[in-house]
Amino acid sequence: MSITVAVVEDRTDVREGLGALIDASEGFVCAATFGDAESFLAALDSLPLDVVLMDIGLPGMNGIEAVRELRAIRPLVQAMMLTVFEDDDHVFEALRSGATGYVLKTTPPDELLESIRLLNAGGSPMSSGIARRVVETFHRPPLVPEDEQPLTPREEEILELLVQGFRYREIAEQLFISIDTVRTHVRHVYEKMHVRSRAEATMKYLGRA
Which is more confidently placed, 42 or 149? Answer: 42
In the prediction, which pLDDT does 139 show?
Answer: 57
Residues 59 and 89 in one domain: yes
Residues 118 and 172 in one domain: no
Residues 120 and 192 in one domain: no
Residues 164 and 88 in one domain: no
In a domain, 146, yes or no: no
In a domain, 58, yes or no: yes
Q: Which DSSP string do the residues of the chain spell out, in sequence order? A: -PEEEEEE-S-HHHHHHHHHHHHHSTTEEEEEEESSHHHHHHHGGG---SEEEE-SS-SSS-HHHHHHHHHHH-TTSEEEEEES--SHHHHHHHHHHT-SEEEETTS-HHHHHHHHHHHHTT---B-HHHHHHHHHHHHSPP---TTPPPPPHHHHHHHHHHHTT--HHHHHHHHT--HHHHHHHHHHHHHHHT-SSHHHHHHHHHHH-
In the prediction, which pLDDT does 182 show?
Answer: 93
In a domain, 147, yes or no: no
In a domain, 96, yes or no: yes
In a domain, 144, yes or no: no
Give the pLDDT band (50/70/90) at residue 138. low
Q: Which domain holds residue 31?
A: 3-138
pLDDT exceeds 60 at position 143? no
Residues 12 and 114 in one domain: yes
pLDDT exceeds 80 at position 205? no
Give the pLDDT band (50/70/90) at residue 148. low
In a domain, 145, yes or no: no
* Residue 201's CATH number: 1.10.10.10
In a domain, 117, yes or no: yes
Residues 22 and 98 in one domain: yes
Of 112, 138, 164, which marks where a domain is finished?
138
Query: What is the number of domains present in the chain?
Result: 2
Residues 22 and 118 in one domain: yes
Residues 31 and 123 in one domain: yes
Residues 199 and 108 in one domain: no
Residues 50 and 131 in one domain: yes
The pLDDT tens digits for 79-113 are 999 999 888 788 888 888 889 899 999 999 999 99
pLDDT exceeds 80 at position 36? yes
In the prediction, which pLDDT does 90 show?
Answer: 86
pLDDT exceeds 50 at position 209? no
Of 138, 173, 196, which marks where a domain is finished?
138
Residues 100 and 70 in one domain: yes
Which is more confidently placed, 183 or 205? Answer: 183
Residues 129 and 170 in one domain: no
